[in-house]
Amino acid sequence: MLRPNLRRRSALSLALVLLALAYVTLTVASSRWLRIGRVDLTADQLYTLTPGTLQIVDGLRHPLRLTLYFSEHATRDLPQLRSYEQRVREMLLEMVARSRGKIHLQLVDPVPYSDDEASAEGGGLAPTNGGSNGERAFFGLIGATLPAQGRDGEEARAPGRGVERTLSIPFFDPSRETFLEYDLAKLLYELDQSSKPRVGVISSLPVQGNAAIGEPPWTALEQLAQQFELRPIDPAGLKRVGDDVQVLLLVHPKRLPADALYAIDQFVLRGGRLAVFVDPDAELDNAPYVDGNGVTDDHDSDLPRLFAAWGVAYDPAMVVLDRSRALQIELGGNNLTHPAMLGLGPQELNRNDAVTASLQRINVSTAGSFDLRPDARSRLLPLLQSSSEAERVPVQRVLETASDPGTLLQGYRADDTHHVLAARLRGQFDSAFPERAALPGHLARSAPNAEVVLVADTDLLSDRLWVEAQSFLGQQTLSAFANNGDFLTNLVDNLSGSSALLSIRSRSASLRPFTRVQALQAAADRKFLQKKLELERELAETRRRLDELQQGKAGHSSASSAAQRDEIEQFQQRRLAINNELRDVQHQLNAEIDALGLRLKVINIVLMPALVTLVGLVFGWRRTRRSRRRPA
């Protein structure tokens, strides 16, 4: 009887060993060659990469190393930052899992005075001084492009070896969480590019300076040239915008030849990215108002033929005034308010667009506005707009009051409209040149989701509206007091990306509000408001009765005093009663919120563990029951 049992135990042990070996082998193989299916159950699909990001990750041509620096000890008292770090790390891991070995992620805790801290600073990361005990806290990402050679990616994995190019996100700001996926995808896309994007510039203003006469370029363009290859284009001989131009900047276009307009038209229709800066009054336009041939020049710019084809309404003879956003200027030794020079703050910037989300202030001067024509098939998505206190006036009126701009406020009538000063124009565009349909390669219509950026001011690019010169230790430096230059850089940076990158829009934040609690609070507030109004009515009525009694006090002093006392006593009793009712409403609110919290605690702490335990007990009981039924 012992030998069959021994053989059975030996067979069982061998089977367990084989099963363990098979499990380990299957686990290792699946982790290396198989993708584990995961389900994103969050309400806004926070952990699901958008198709644009997937396209960028799948199309990577070079192996990349991403190094996430996060100061664990310095942020122990910063729960918001720690929670956001988990969000960043999980999204990076999603990209790593999708990349099939093209992206390698390293997590580094840069402790003070270490080599890791030095490498973080050397890579361009910006620490915050709000850490525990005054420590500097790092929370940023450094990306590096690595050569593809090396056995099994050995060289690509070696830190500091073979690095071809590096870029960084200096600091992950939790307030920019809705653009987290865009920022990470943008970093991957830029790392994968082998050269600077080329930007074509067509302008009738001296935006790029003139080296022959020692005129420097405008600071906004000089700043742009640090990240992009700027290529001036002469519209006089322009027949076609080259395919190597990722973005075309059109600044103050005046009297462009028909061939140049057609080249711009076809560039947009075949998917080129265009940013147009027009102006009712370009204040830095140095052309004479009347030239030697008697031709007048009002210093305005327009693209009437293209705008009509795109469904855009723009009047170059109208300027937007805004008394609530007017800037203070110095004129003739006096400080004056100029309603045509506007300082746009966060309320006038689109916080849901990657171009303007992180900007705080943009200054414009004598700006126009855009709208859609009644027959337009496109959409206008504002980037910059006025407040509702704005009105539109003829540009000639602004010119006539140049010596005393305060007179523009005389007879001012706000039209209660947020005028669009800059916007994305998105839709399907028709060619503005249907008569050239017979030409080779002519395109009659764009793709359904073509895009053009329109800005109704060119002065915002000039230095005087956003930078000022300062002397520091004998050196001339520029100090920015507005984000105009950042606006241009962000705009070109956004447009120069692939269509996949442009398709990534802002997403919801991971911190979600307690909507049920907010609904209870709103209901209670409505009750409180009703009671408050009732109390105020009671108080007003009592005061009126007291005034009446006071007026009749001369003839009936004792009766008046008695009535007055009775009235006051009734009011006091009524006020106490209403206060009790207000307290009851507050207690009911607290009781409902506490009950909701208690239900959530019971579900999370008691019910779910009990349910899991019950399922485990039932499963174990069924296994035991089956084993007992088996014959020995």
Q: Which residues of 541-562 are buried (b: 16+ CB within 10 A; e: fewer)?
A: ebeebeeebeeeeeeeeeebee
Q: For the whole model, what pTM was predicted?
A: 0.66
Pairing of strands 139-145, 64-70: antiparallel
Task: For residue 283, report the phi and psi dihedrals to the nearest 5 degrees.
Answer: -70, -15
Cβ within 8 Å of residue 45, ≥6 positions away = none
Distance between alpha carbon 493 and the CA centroid of its chain, in Å?
Answer: 14
From the number of C-beta atoms within 10 Å of its C-beta (0-12, 13-18, 19+), residue 272 rates as buried
Q: List average pLDDT for each run of 10 residues in the chain, which is 632 residues long.
A: 62 75 68 52 64 88 93 88 92 92 94 89 88 82 79 44 76 85 89 87 92 85 90 95 95 95 97 96 84 72 96 97 92 85 95 88 97 94 96 94 90 94 96 96 94 97 90 67 93 83 59 55 57 62 62 54 68 67 63 67 74 79 71 58
Nearest to 351 by CA among 375, 383, 378, 374: 383
Nearest to 553 by CA among 539, 541, 567, 540: 567
DSSP 623: H
Distance CA 486, CA 466 (A): 10
Other C-beta atoms lying within 10 Å of the C-beta of residue 604: 10
3-state helix, strand, coil in the chain (%, to 5): 45, 20, 35
Q: Are 424 and 275 in contact (CB under 8 A)?
A: no
pLDDT of residue 292: 58
Q: Which residue has the tokens 């030996």?
A: 10
DSSP 539: H
Tokens of 68: 């996430």
DSSP 559-597: HHHHHHHHHHHHHHHHHHHHHHHHHHHHHHHHHHHHHHH
Q: What residue spans of 377-514 are helical by DSSP H?
A: 395-400, 484-495, 499-502
Distance between alpha carbon 347 and the CA centroid of its chain, in Å?
Answer: 13
Cβ within 8 Å of residue 259, ≥6 positions away = 238, 239
pLDDT of residue 378: 94
DSSP 290: B
pLDDT of residue 131: 72
Give SS3 for 215: strand
pLDDT of residue 200: 96
Look up residue 266 and give its amino acid.
Answer: Q
Q: Phi-psi bin for 167: left (phi > 0), alpha (psi -120 to 50), beta?
A: beta
Distance CA 591, CA 418 (A): 44
DSSP 603: I
Distance CA 183, CA 187 (A): 6
Pairing of strands 312-314, 370-372: antiparallel
Up-side HSE of residue 88: CA atoms within 13 Å toward CB? 28
pLDDT of residue 632: 54
* Torsion sign across C-alpha atoms 28, 31, 33, 39: positive
Tokens of 350: 């689109």
